[in-house]
Amino acid sequence: MDTGKESASADVGLEFSRGGVLTSFEFAFNSANFSDRVLRIEIVAGDNAPGSGGDVVGGSIGDLRDDKNAYGDKGQSVDSSAMNLGTPVLREKTIYVSSVVLASRSPFFLKLFSNGMKESDQTHPTFRIADSEENAFMELLSYMYSGKLTTKEPTLLLEILMAADKFEVLSCMRHSSQLLTSLPMTTESALLYIDHPCSTSLAADVQHVIRVAKEFLANKYKDFDKSEYELMNIPLAGIEAIFSSSDIRMETEDDLYFFMVEWARAWYPELKERREILSSRLLPLVRFNHITRETLQEILACTADDIDHEQVTKRITEALLQIAYPTEMEGALAADGRAYEYKPVRVVAFDGPCPQVIVYLDLTRKECSRLLPSEGICSHPFYLAGQEFILGGRHELAEADSSSSFGLYLQMVCNPELSKSITLRCEFAANKSKTSREFVRLCKDEFTLNSECAYGYSDLFEMPWLEFLADDDLFIDGVLHLRVDVAVVGQPKVQMT
């Protein structure tokens, strides 16, 4: 036995090709002179066909059945198991085909025409398809002869891709997928791709088109504040694709929760449906472990009927556990944050021996690298001695020599009704060791702060900006871990304005 020849033959696969290009039999398409079979195609109304939702009928070998009772001696039928033979036929077509050509392009047709399948020797196999699928099916048959598609229209290309998936025409799947992803993507076409009903077992080429469409939407609408109004017009599939991304820029995760509720009320006026959509599709997109304390309290106190309070309470409880025990929680509970303008912090507060907080702020290397000179990123507010504070990290630019560095500041949030001057003892620290994972104190000082000033260091790590970004001892697994200990010294001095 010549094993070398057998191996080479297996590598060629089913399709006749020359240098990676399909051999064209375009001259033989629908020609009685070069055909040994006649495909009988029955077209039925889309609303009555199982493929009306977008599936091309006849997509699996299990759909082949002996149909002599229905068609007399005309042979086998390819149909969906859900198809009722009593469904009215709108029109019929007959196409001359070569079993050799179709079998060489598709494992489906190879099995259809092989001797191992019942009734495979019949010369008039019958296909039943929805009228909405007719053009795609005819394009697919033509492609198997010519290796070419005659359209660049996104909707039809998608239908062809689905038909190729169903009938296992692998080269057509690759070709139509490449055409789809090479076309200029728009919001409309991206929504078409991700929301198009398709077969239960998606091939890689179909998945690729869907993935590219989701990435396009997430990138186009990544600035939440600028896109919020337009996002109200995006349907559910698009909303899910966009807010599954961690690259969305927004002030806080709070904004997303309130947007989801507002969006659901606009799109689903019926209470029962809206409640179901919120619970099963929208709230799972909200990263509750990054929502501020004040908003969590507001959500828990909400009595709206469209909110599943039991589910929301469970999600908030899980989020709080994730914050308290981050190394012990897995999966969705440990979801990454997004590109927030105001970063979540973890706060440990003490009342004695003096009012004191320990604040943990994590910044990713990606977040820091996005900062332009003289730009900053702020933390969620936290509270000490009845006053509101924030931490701010900045890409500091020195005017004297144009050098830049990382700065970190503590700032009191202005209260127009109350002006406080408060003396604090503050210590800044960072986790600077991959091995020990211990925080190292960088600086410690005592100062008086009011709402008109901030305290901090313009070069916290005493290194240039690019060197700071590249330091893997600072960015442990890509994350900079900062800790700030703030304690009140004496009693705050209060002046009413």
* Most confident by average pLDDT, 59-73, 255-269, 285-299: 255-269
Judge if 294 and 236 occupy the same domain: yes
Judge if 282 and 418 occupy the same domain: no
Domain count of the fold of the chain:
3
pTM assigned to the model: 0.68
What CATH number does residue 86 fall under? Answer: 3.30.710.10
List, in sequence order, every residue forming a beta bridge with 379; answer none if it has no partner. Answer: 343
In a domain, residue 3? The reply is no
Helix (H) or strand (E) holding 385: none
CA–CA separation, 254 vs 372, rounded Å? 25
Judge if 231 and 283 occupy the same domain: yes
Whether pLDDT at 67 is above 70: no
Q: Mean pLDDT of all residues in the chain? A: 79
- Cα 83 to Cα 37, 62, 126, 303: the distances in Å are 24, 13, 13, 47
CA–CA separation, 404 vs 260, rounded Å? 40
In a domain, residue 488? The reply is yes
- Decide: helix, strand or coil at residue 460: coil
More confident residue, 123 or 489: 489
Judge if 114 and 185 occupy the same domain: yes
From 191, 212, 233, give the residue that closes a domain: 212
In a domain, residue 2? The reply is no
In a domain, residue 73? The reply is yes
Stretch 187-199: mean pLDDT:
80
Confidence of residue 65 (pLDDT cuts 50, 70, 90): very low
Question: What order of strands is seen across the sheet that includes strand 77-78?
Answer: 64-65, 77-78, 126-130, 37-44, 89-97
Whether pLDDT at 494 is above 90: no
- What was the pLDDT predicted at 13? 39
Stretch 49-75: mean pLDDT:
36
Judge if 388 and 273 occupy the same domain: no
First-to-last C-alpha distance (Å) of the chain: 100
Q: What tens digit of pLDDT does each residue of 364-393 get?
A: 898 898 888 878 889 988 888 888 899 999
Burial of 267-285, coded b for 16+ CB within 10 Å and e otherwise, reads bbeeeeebbebbbeebbbb
Stretch 40-58: mean pLDDT:
55
Judge if 205 and 56 occupy the same domain: yes
Judge if 208 and 274 occupy the same domain: no
Stretch 205-228: mean pLDDT:
90
Judge if 133 and 190 occupy the same domain: yes
CA–CA separation, 314 vs 255, rounded Å? 20
Encode 47-74 in three state secondary structure.
HHCCCCCCCCCCCCHHHEECCHHHHCCC
What CATH number does residue 308 fall under? Answer: 1.25.40
Domain range for 175: 11-212
Judge if 390 and 461 occupy the same domain: yes
Residue 406: closest CA among 446, 367, 449: 367
List, in sequence order, every residue forming a beta bridge with 445; answer none if it has no partner. Answer: 426
Judge if 412 and 475 occupy the same domain: yes
In a domain, residue 155? The reply is yes
Which stretch of 18-22, 77-81, 140-144, 166-170 has the lowest confidence by average pLDDT?
A: 77-81
In a domain, residue 27? The reply is yes
In a domain, residue 282? The reply is yes
Q: What tens digit of pLDDT does each residue of 439-487 get?
A: 999 999 998 888 777 889 999 999 999 999 999 889 988 899 999 999 9
Judge if 480 and 350 occupy the same domain: yes
What CATH number does residue 377 fall under? Answer: 2.60.210.10
More confident residue, 287 or 86: 287
- What was the pLDDT predicted at 344? 84
Whether pLDDT at 432 is above 90: no
Percent of the chain with pLDDT over 90: 29
Stretch 72-99: mean pLDDT:
64
From 181, 212, 243, give the residue that closes a domain: 212
